[in-house]
């Protein structure tokens, strides 16, 4: 009896502190969208959005495990905290001390939190419904309020999109400008300002993008092209042709995105090598997540052989309250931002060895720097892979 009463008390407290999204069972997983939107769902299924959850993203999974272990906060509570962006339609958007007590007393088995986390549709990460069921975005909210906390959802069977003249036999539709000229509002709901548990900002992409009028979707989806959004034959036996974007959401994980993403210019005064890196993109590089890295590899050569090589890492370092290295979310101190600024450049200078007659500089990108990769014991090749950007050489 005591156990039942405790569960009831804690559940009431938990739900009181949580904002639940509108139920939408019909299209909550992509298999329900596939029959009519096969091209878009196929593109999405190969994207990192489709892997944006605990089971499929090793980096996310091990980061959550690490934060839980180091903060002594329950694993489920950290999952909920991250799900606000990684799985925004989770039925519970916050936990509190009452839930932590439930976990400590092993009373959480049938809790609303555990039920929400055990929902199969969350294992699709950022799926069709996450974006296309949004009704309103609170774009004026504080920078600290992100993900699900910025969103209002449509009711059952109402889908939002970029068009105002669509007619589906299966669901109602409505046009929303955050699929058109205000597309950044939707992207920046999550891809904006990341902070440590101590309130330090380690990503500020929202401020970076203010320097450009280009939209995120122009690069990370595609320019608008004539194609088929729905394969239903409603136009004299044929699908309607629409101006739409690719849904593969190409990002930093795609090697093709990095080819010539930066410009490299080398010069020499015979004593010093000058390396100028120019960034014509509308956000800093690296950006998007704190542990990402630009890697410069400098090779000094004589006329006949390689003399020596040097690597320079452009990535931030994160220090814990015990003055040890840590992951971005747990840092109390962060090193100076040495990324290449949006629509700007950075120049590095290195001594030129007397014996060297030429120098080759190569620039690559890595998703996770050595320190964080080792802390989290990341095993998958994608986290250490060097994605080539550009290379130049100069003679003395």
Tens-digit pLDDT profile for residues 304-334: 799 999 999 999 999 998 899 999 999 999 9
364's enclosing H/E stretch is: strand 358-366
CA–CA distance, 46 with 13 (Å, rounded to integer): 39
pLDDT single digits (tens) 66-80 = 999 999 999 999 999
Residue 23, phi then psi, degrees to nearest 5: -65, 140
Which residues of the chain carry a pLDDT beneath 70? 1-23
CA–CA distance, 138 with 144 (Å, rounded to integer): 12
In this structure, which topology does domain 255-395 adopt according to CATH? Immunoglobulin-like (2.60.40)
* CB-count exposure of residue 272 (10 Å: 0-12, 13-18, 19+): exposed
**pTM score of the predicted model:** 0.89
Q: Where in the chain is the domain with CATH 2.60.40.10?
A: 255-395
pLDDT given for residue 34 in this prediction? 93
CA–CA distance, 67 with 83 (Å, rounded to integer): 14
* 3-state SS, one letter per residue, for 24-91: CCCCCCHHHCCCCCHHHHHHHHCCCHHHCCCCCCHHHHHHHHHHHHHHCCCHHHHHHHHHHHHCCCCC
């Amino acid at each position: 009896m005591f156990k039942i009463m405790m569960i009831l008390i804690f559940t009431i407290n938990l739900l009181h502190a949580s904002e639940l999204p509108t139920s939408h069972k019909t299209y909550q997983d992509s298999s329900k969208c596939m029959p009519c939107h096969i091209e878009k769902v196929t593109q999405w299924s190969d994207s990192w959005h489709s892997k944006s959850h605990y089971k499929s993203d090793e980096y996310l999974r091990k980061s959550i495990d690490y934060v839980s272990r180091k903060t002594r906060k329950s694993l489920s509570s950290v999952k909920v905290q991250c799900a606000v962006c990684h799985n925004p339609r989770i039925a519970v958007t916050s936990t509190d001390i009452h839930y932590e007590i439930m976990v400590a007393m092993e009373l959480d088995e049938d809790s609303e939190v555990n039920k929400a986390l055990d929902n199969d549709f969350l294992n699709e990460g950022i799926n069709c419904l996450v974006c296309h069921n949004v009704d309103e975005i609170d774009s004026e909210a504080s920078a600290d309020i992100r993900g699900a906390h910025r969103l209002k959802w449509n009711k059952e069977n109402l889908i939002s999109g970029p068009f105002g003249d669509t007619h589906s036999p299966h669901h109602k539709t409505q046009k929303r400008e955050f699929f058109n000229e205000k597309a950044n509002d939707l992207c920046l709901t999550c891809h904006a300002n990341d902070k440590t548990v101590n309130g330090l900002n380690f990503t500020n992409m929202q401020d970076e993008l203010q320097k450009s009028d280009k939209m995120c979707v122009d690069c990370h989806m595609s320019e608008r092209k004539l194609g088929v959004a729905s394969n239903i034959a409603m136009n004299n036996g044929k699908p309607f042709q629409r101006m739409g974007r690719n849904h593969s959401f190409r990002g930093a994980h795609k090697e093709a995105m990095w080819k010539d993403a930066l410009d490299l210019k080398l010069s020499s005064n015979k004593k010093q090598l000058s390396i100028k890196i120019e960034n014509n993109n509308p956000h800093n590089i690296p950006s998007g997540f704190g542990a990402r890295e630009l890697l410069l590899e400098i090779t000094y050569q004589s006329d006949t052989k390689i003399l020596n090589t040097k690597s320079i890492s452009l990535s931030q370092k994160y220090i814990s309250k015990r003055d040890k290295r840590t992951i971005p979310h747990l840092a109390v101190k962060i090193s100076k931002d040495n990324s290449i600024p949006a629509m700007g450049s950075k120049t590095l200078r290195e001594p030129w060895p007397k014996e060297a007659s030429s120098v080759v500089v190569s620039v690559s990108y890595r998703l996770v720097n050595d320190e964080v990769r080792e802390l989290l014991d990341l095993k998958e090749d994608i986290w250490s892979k060097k994605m080539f950007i550009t290379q130049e050489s100069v003679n003395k």
